[in-house]
C-alpha cells in the first residue's frame, strides 16, 4: 500500500536576515499548487521496505523530512521557484504499490513542466524515478497507466534515457530472488530489454570491496560505464568528467540518482552501509555540475539518508548541499 502525506511547511524553518536579497530556502519554497509556474519540485519517498528486504539498517523512511530541515536554512540562489510536493509513504511492505504511486506522481510533475527531485528513502526509489520518466515518454501520453505490456510501448524512436548513479554499489542484484534496494537497476535493465529500449547506465564511485565479481560481470555485460571510488581523485577528475560527458552526449535525457553511501563515512555516517573509503563531496560536486549543466537533466533523486544513524546531521547537511548545488540555475 501507499499513501500521500499532506505537505508540512512547518519543516521549513531557519534564520531570517535583515539585509536585502538575503533570502533562504525556508523563505522562498512554496507548497505545490495546481497550475504552478514550472520550477523545482521536491517530492519525498518515505520507504524502508527495500532496505529491510536487502537486510540493511532501516530508518531511511525518515530521510525526506530530515533533508527538508537541513535544506531550509541554506541561502537561496535560484531564479526559478521551488515547491514542496509532499511525500509518498510506503505502508508496511507494500513496496511495489508505493513505487507505482511515486512514479505516477513524478509523471504528473514532469507533465506540468517541473524538475522533480525525489528525497529518499531507500534506493528502491531509483526504479520509481525511472518508471515515472518512462511513463512520461509513453506514446499514448503521460496519462497512460497500463504500461506493463510490451505491446503498449512504441517501437519507433524510443527515448535515449541515460542513468547516472553516484553510488558505492551497482544495485544490479537479480530481482528474481527478491526486489529490494539492491535490485533497482537490474529491474530497469529488464524493463528496457522487454520494451526494446537501450539501457544506458553509468555507475560512479563503486567500491570493489562492496560488490561481488558477479556484479562486476553483470555491469560489464550491460555496457555500464564504471568508475571505482579509488579512481576518482583530483588528478583524474577532469578525465572522469570527460568520460561522463561522452556518455551524456549519447543520451537525450538524463536521470541522476545519488546514493549518499557514495560519500565517505566521515561525511555521511547516516546511511545503511557507510563507506570505508567513498568519494568526497569535493570530488562528487563537479560530477553533479556536469550533469546539471548538460541541459538534459529531467529528474534526480537522493537516497539512503537515515537520520537515526546520523551524527550531528552530517549526512543531512551533505544531502542538502547537494540539492542546493543541483538546483542552482544561474
pLDDT values of the chain reduced to their tens digit, one per residue, 330 residues = 665 777 999 999 999 999 999 999 999 999 999 999 999 999 999 987 766 776 777 788 999 999 999 999 999 999 999 999 999 988 877 788 889 999 999 999 999 999 999 999 888 999 999 999 999 998 665 445 445 444 555 546 899 999 999 999 999 998 887 777 789 999 999 999 999 999 999 999 999 999 999 999 999 999 999 999 999 999 999 999 999 999 999 999 999 999 999 999 999 999 988 999 999 999 999 999 999 999 999 999 999 999 999 999 999 999 999 999 999 997
Beta-strand pair 161-166/40-46: unpaired
* Listed residue (43, 33, 90, 95) closest to 64, CA to CA: 43
For 85, phi then psi, to 5°, come to -100, 10
Measure the CA–CA gap between 77 and 68, rounded to whole angstroms: 17
Beta-strand pair 82-90/2-5: antiparallel
Q: What are the residues facing 46 on neighbouring strands? A: 89
Domain coordinates in residue numbering, the chain: 2-6+25-147+162-326
- H runs (alpha helix) in the chain: 25-28, 49-53, 63-71, 95-111, 125-136, 184-195, 213-221, 237-249, 281-292, 314-326
Measure the CA–CA gap between 189 and 317, rounded to whole angstroms: 32
CATH number, domain 2-6+25-147+162-326, options 3.40.50.620, 3.40.800.10, 3.30.1360.200, 3.30.70.100: 3.40.800.10
pTM exceeding the 0.85 threshold for the entire prediction: yes
Measure the CA–CA gap between 202 and 12, rounded to whole angstroms: 34
Question: Quick check: bond before 121 cis, omega within 30?
Answer: yes
How is residue 264 written as a grid cell? Answer: 565517505
Measure the CA–CA gap between 274 and 56, rounded to whole angstroms: 11
Amino acid at each position: 500500500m501507499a499513501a500521500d502525506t499532506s505537505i508540512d511547511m512547518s519543516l521549513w524553518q531557519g534564520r531570517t536576515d535583515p539585509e536585502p536579497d538575503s533570502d533562504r530556502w525556508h523563505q522562498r519554497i512554496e507548497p505545490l499548487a495546481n497550475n504552478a509556474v514550472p520550477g523545482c519540485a521536491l517530492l519525498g519517498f518515505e520507504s524502508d521496505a527495500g532496505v529491510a528486504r536487502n537486510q540493511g539498517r532501516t530508518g531511511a523512511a525518515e530521510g525526506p523530512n530530515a533533508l527538508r530541515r537541513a535544506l531550509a536554512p541554506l541561502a537561496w540562489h535560484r531564479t526559478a521557484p521551488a515547491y514542496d510536493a509532499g511525500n509518498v509513504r510506503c505502508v508496511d511492505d507494500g513496496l511495489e504499490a508505493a513505487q507505482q504511486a511515486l512514479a505516477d506522481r513524478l509523471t504528473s510533475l514532469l507533465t506540468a513542466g517541473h524538475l522533480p527531485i525525489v528525497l529518499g528513502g531507500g534506493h528502491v526509489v531509483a526504479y520509481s524515478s525511472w518508471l515515472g520518466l518512462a511513463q512520461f515518454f509513453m506514446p499514448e501520453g503521460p496519462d497512460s497507466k497500463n504500461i506493463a505490456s510490451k505491446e503498449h510501448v512504441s517501437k519507433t524512436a524510443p527515448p535515449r534515457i541515460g542513468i547516472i548513479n553516484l553510488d558505492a554499489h551497482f544495485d544490479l542484484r537479480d530481482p528474481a530472488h527478491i526486489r529490494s534496494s539492491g535490485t533497482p537497476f537490474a529491474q530497469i535493465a529488464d524493463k528496457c530489454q522487454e520494451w526494446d529500449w537501450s539501457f544506458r547506465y553509468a555507475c560512479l564511485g563503486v567500491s570493489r570491496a562492496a560488490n561481488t565479481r558477479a556484479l562486476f560481470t553483470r555491469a560489464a555485460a550491460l555496457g555500464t560505464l564504471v568508475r571505482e571510488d579509488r579512481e576518482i581523485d583530483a588528478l583524474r577528475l577532469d578525465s572522469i568528467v570527460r568520460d561522463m560527458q561522452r556518455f551524456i552526449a549519447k543520451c537525450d535525457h538524463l536521470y541522476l540518482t545519488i546514493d549518499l553511501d557514495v560519500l565517505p563515512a566521515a561525511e555521511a555516517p547516516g546511511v545503511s552501509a557507510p563507506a570505508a573509503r567513498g568519494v568526497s563531496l569535493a570530488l562528487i560536486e563537479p560530477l553533479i555540475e556536469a550533469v546539471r549543466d548538460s541541459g538534459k537533466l529531467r529528474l534526480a533523486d537522493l537516497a539512503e539518508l537515515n537520520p537515526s544513524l546520523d551524527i550531528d546531521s552530517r549526512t543531512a547537511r551533505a544531502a542538502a548541499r547537494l540539492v542546493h548545488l543541483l538546483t542552482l540555475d544561474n
